[in-house]
Amino acid sequence: MHRPPPYGMSNTGRYPPYHYGGEYYPSERRRGGNVCVRCICCFCCFLFFIILIFAVLILYMFLYYDPKCPTYKFEYMDVKEFKYNPDSSINADVILTLRANNPNKGVGLLYEEASFINVTYSDSLICSGKFPSFHHGHRNVTMLQIALKGKNQLRSGLNESLKDDERHDKIRLKLMAMVPFRLVYGNIKIRSLNMNANVTLIVRDLKPGKKSVTEEGKIAYRLSY
């Protein structure tokens, strides 16, 4: 008795060839996904170790150098010339003596050239100059001579107001400065920063000669890029 061939088998007794349709199976997807995950994990680990190394380096430098803010104090004003002109202008030529103290044991400061210092009276410019460019070594106190000159017109009424303050031995002059500088760790120079400072100076008179200067409050300053 003739029996029919099993399901899928031809009359010749052979199964037809299997044609792969390009299907993706879960095992194949898992192999490709594992490679991507491993790459991402390796990159994250590498990035973490780089950040960790930088953090440890910064912490070491902070603990070793123990950075402190430098201090500044104006000591004297040497008046070379201070002349009231008939047209309400003023000729001024003064030298300010500044005591700069860097208390750090391993951090120096490199003061750069592109600086300015303005001295004003009631917001009218009296004279101007530049902060000296020099390298301020660690644990060092330096006395700086800052030359300030100018011929400037005062606003109406300020000429008499300035003379009246001089008669009362109390002249308030506002000093504003912008000084670019770099921090120096050994032979390493950090990127340039700007120190913006202002303070009110009180002097007794503006006649030629060396005058003591009193600071009305501390020097206020902030840093910027």
List, for residues 161-170, the tens digit of each pLDDT value: 999 999 998 9
Residues contacting 81, CB < 8 A, separation 6+:
91, 92, 93, 208
Other Cβ atoms closer than 10 A to 155: 12
- Mean residue pLDDT across the chain: 85
Residue ranges per structural domain of the chain: 40-68, 71-223
Confidence band, pLDDT 50/70/90 cuts, at residue 196:
very high
Confidence band, pLDDT 50/70/90 cuts, at residue 9:
low
Asked if the model's pLDDT at residue 194 lies above 70, the reply is: yes
Instruction: Specify the CATH architecture of the domain 71-223.
Output: Sandwich (2.60)
Confidence band, pLDDT 50/70/90 cuts, at residue 52:
confident
Beta strand extents in the chain (DSSP E only): 71-84, 89-102, 107-111, 116-121, 124-129, 135-136, 140-153, 171-185, 188-189, 193-203, 209-212, 214-224
Give the model confidence (pLDDT) of 131-190 as tens digits: 999 999 989 999 999 999 999 999 888 989 999 999 998 999 999 999 999 999 878 888
Give the model confidence (pLDDT) of 95-110 as tens digits: 999 999 999 988 899 9
Work out the average pLDDT over 38-53. 86
Q: Which of 79, 170, 87 is nearest to 127 (CA)?
A: 79
Percent residues over pLDDT 70 in the chain: 83
The more confident residue out of 29 and 94 is: 94
Asked if the model's pLDDT at residue 88 lies above 60, the reply is: yes
CA torsion through residues 51, 53, 56, 58, sign: negative
Helix (H) / strand (E) element for 30: namely helix 26-65
pLDDT for position 56: 82
